[in-house]
Amino acid sequence: MTATTIQLLVADGRFPAGAHAHSSGLEAAVAAGRVTDLSTLDEYLRGRLATAGLVAAAFAAAARSVAAPPGSDEAPGRRSALALLDAELDARTASPAQRAVSRRQGRALLRAGREIWSAATFDDLPATPGGPHQPLALGLVGAAAGLDAAQVATVAVHATVTGSASAAVRLLGLDPYQVQALLVRLADACDATATRAARAAELPPRRLPAAAAPLADIHAEAHATWEVRLFAS
Amino acid sequence: MRATARLVARADRHGRTTLAELRGESPLLLRQVPGPDGGVTVYVVGGAAGPLAGDDLRLDVEVGPGAVVRVHTVAASIALPGRPGAVSRMLVRATVEAEAVLHWLPEQLVAAAGCAHVADAQVEVAEGGTLHWRDELICGRHGEQPGHAEINTWVDLAGRPLLRQSLTVGPEAPGWAGPAVLGGAPATGSLLVVDPTLPPATPLVRGTLARLPLAGGPATLWTATAPDAHTLRSYLEPDDPADSLAAATGGRSAG
């Protein structure tokens, strides 16, 4: 699989969807003393890949597969398929704080998508209060950008590790070269997770991955109560 | 070893619960004991130690409209290795009809070293049904690392997805013991409470216990990690969540 320039643009942390504002639970894990150095960051990222990363990538790929090809007519089937994916993802996101963050990120991504691909249709996404879940928005933005489901899964997995990794540099003052070297070491695990997610995305929505992490829920709820924080999640 | 068991409960016209069916086979035997409030209490009596890799156990539970059922187990299950490459499986399928109540409160599952265990639960709750569903996992017996254990939970409420959760520990689950998943805690679990009569809860976190109102209906998930089995249980007692919060805050009252 060759990465296209479009795929690199969508995956880039500078894509204007606000990804830089999120540590994906890392800020709370650092505050709890669970992530303190490069080796605990390594363990953190591997755990995220196997849980939140796999689920987000599978749902992004599934949404991409449902999405309308550019220029096609509206179809009620697509709308109900995306609504079901939205409900299934809600059922995999026990923490209200994580649900709110996912929808906020989805809304920001959707706004960017509508501006950039003005001819594409995003109206099949369910009109849920708070916005669509981020992986669903990513699936539709990926479709608008001409990415396939496997490429969308790779973008989702990439975002899972890079967001927390760059947050770690700021929160723990880690050496950025060392953190980048860690990401390079994780690249094969990222690709394997994306491949697994894209394959799983072909299952019925009920059977999509649901890998859970108790501390992710606990960290997210603790973080949401802070009055002062560096990151939005 | 393969075994199936089945429990079907109905409410009679006086509102008392009766068992229309109660059958099992070793090592999945069901025993009824007198229960409070016109409901029935059933214990799952395991045979020998186990499940052993290679076992395939299946339990179906049907709680008809208005019936009240509590299910317990007499002892912890200890998932143990069997012949090489084999997996032990436990599938529980439950349906809870309108005005029915199911309390599923088994003892803890211990994932022993070298085990390969998959526990699946598929639960359908009708609108107006009540469910208390507890899962507790202890990662390894004293001082040992667990084998592969996977706990998959699917719960639908009124035909819509309510909870989908897979927790996997062991050598095939990257990062499971790390700071993103369990943070070194050997005990973890959750208690799902679906109860249309309770007022909506707010999210709350105390230490490593969180109360999480779910999106799909009048339901709350308590989720926790703990340093040991006993502490975990103190967090996940269904009848007194306030006590759970006090336990998680070291005895202080939980605001």
* Tens-digit pLDDT profile for residues A36-67: 999 999 999 999 999 999 999 999 999 999 98
Domain count, chain A: 1
Residue A230 belongs to some domain of the structure:
no
Banded pLDDT at B244 (limits 50, 70, 90): low
Q: How remote is the C-alpha of B36 from its chain's centroid?
A: 21
pLDDT of residue B82: 87
Q: Do A210 and B166 touch (CB under 8 A)?
A: yes
d(CA B108, CA B68): 23
ipTM score above 0.85:
yes
Best of A218, A219, A233 to disrupt the B interface (most B CBs within 10 Å) is A218
Q: How many CB atoms lie within 10 A of CB A31?
A: 15
Question: Residue A214: its chain B contacts at CB < 8 A?
Answer: 167, 181-182, 188, 190, 208, 223-225
Question: Residue B166: its chain A contacts at CB < 8 A?
Answer: 209-212
Of B168, B178, B215, the CB nearest to A43: B178
Residue A180 belongs to some domain of the structure:
yes
CA angle, A37 then A189 then B174, to 5°: 65
Model confidence pLDDT, tens digit, residues B168-177: 999 999 999 9
Residue B181: closest C-alpha in chain A:
A213
pLDDT of residue A200: 98
d(CA A86, CA A63): 9
Residues B96-108, mean pLDDT to the nearest whole number:
97
Model confidence pLDDT, tens digit, residues B205-219: 999 999 999 999 999
Helix (H, G, I), strand (E, B) or coil at A207: helix
Peptide bond preceding B27: is omega within 30 degrees of 0, i.e. cis? yes
CA distances from residue A103 to A54, A67, A90, B155, B191 in whole angstroms, order as listed? 18, 18, 10, 22, 26
Residue B214: closest C-alpha in chain A:
A94
Q: Do B225 and A212 touch (CB under 8 A)?
A: no
Helices (H) and strands (E) in chain A, counts: 10, 0
Question: Residue B190: its chain A contacts at CB < 8 A?
Answer: 214
d(CA A160, CA B170): 22
Q: Do B182 and A215 touch (CB under 8 A)?
A: yes
Over 90: is that where the pLDDT of B246 sits? no
Cβ-Cβ pairs closer than 8 A, A with B, add up to: 135
d(CA A122, CA A141): 8
Q: Which of A152-156, B34-38, B99-103, B179-183 has the lowest mean pLDDT?
A: B34-38
CA distances from residue B19 to A121, A152, B22, B34, B40 in whole angstroms, order as listed? 55, 51, 6, 12, 8
Q: Are B199 and B246 in contact (CB under 8 A)?
A: no
Residue A13 belongs to some domain of the structure:
no
Q: Domain of A148?
A: 26-224
d(CA B42, CA B68): 11
Question: Residue B213: its chain A contacts at CB < 8 A?
Answer: 96
B178 closest CA partner among A190, A181, A35, A66: A35
Q: Are A107 and A229 in contact (CB under 8 A)?
A: no
Does A128 or B163 have the greater pLDDT score? B163
% of chain A exceeding 70 in pLDDT: 97
d(CA B29, CA B46): 6
Residue A220 C-alpha, separation from nearest chain B C-alpha, in angstroms = 9
pLDDT of residue A72: 66
Q: Which residues contact B142 (CB under 8 A, 6 or more apart)?
A: none
| Domain containing residue A195: CATH number | 1.10.4190.10
Domain ranges of chain B: 2-193
- Token pair recorded at residue A117: 């691909």
Q: How many CB atoms lie within 10 A of CB A203?
A: 12
Over 80: is that where the pLDDT of A196 sits? yes
pTM for the full model?
A: 0.95
Of A87, A97, A216, the CB nearest to B216: A87
Best of B120, B181, B194 to disrupt the A interface (most A CBs within 10 Å) is B181
Over 70: is that where the pLDDT of A175 sits? yes
Q: How remote is the C-alpha of A178 from its chain's centroid?
A: 24
Banded pLDDT at B252 (limits 50, 70, 90): very low
Q: Do A94 and B209 touch (CB under 8 A)?
A: no
Residue B164: closest C-alpha in chain A:
A92
Peptide bond preceding B51: is omega within 30 degrees of 0, i.e. cis? yes
